[in-house]
Amino acid sequence: MLVIAGSLAVFGLCVLLGDLLLPWDQATRIGTGAGAGAVIAGVLGAWASSLIGSSAPSTTPAAGGPAASGERAVATQDNSGVIITGDNGTVQR
Task: Say how far apart CA 12 and CA 10 lie, in whole Å.
Answer: 5
pLDDT digits (tens, 9 = 90+) for 9-40: 999 999 999 999 999 999 999 999 999 999 99
Q: Which residue has the higher pLDDT, 30 or 58?
A: 30
Q: Which residue has the higher pLDDT, 54 or 27?
A: 27
pLDDT digits (tens, 9 = 90+) for 65-76: 667 777 666 667
Residues 6+ away with beta carbon under 8 Å from 11: 34, 37, 38, 40, 41
Q: How confident is the model at residue 64 (pLDDT cuts 50, 70, 90)?
A: low
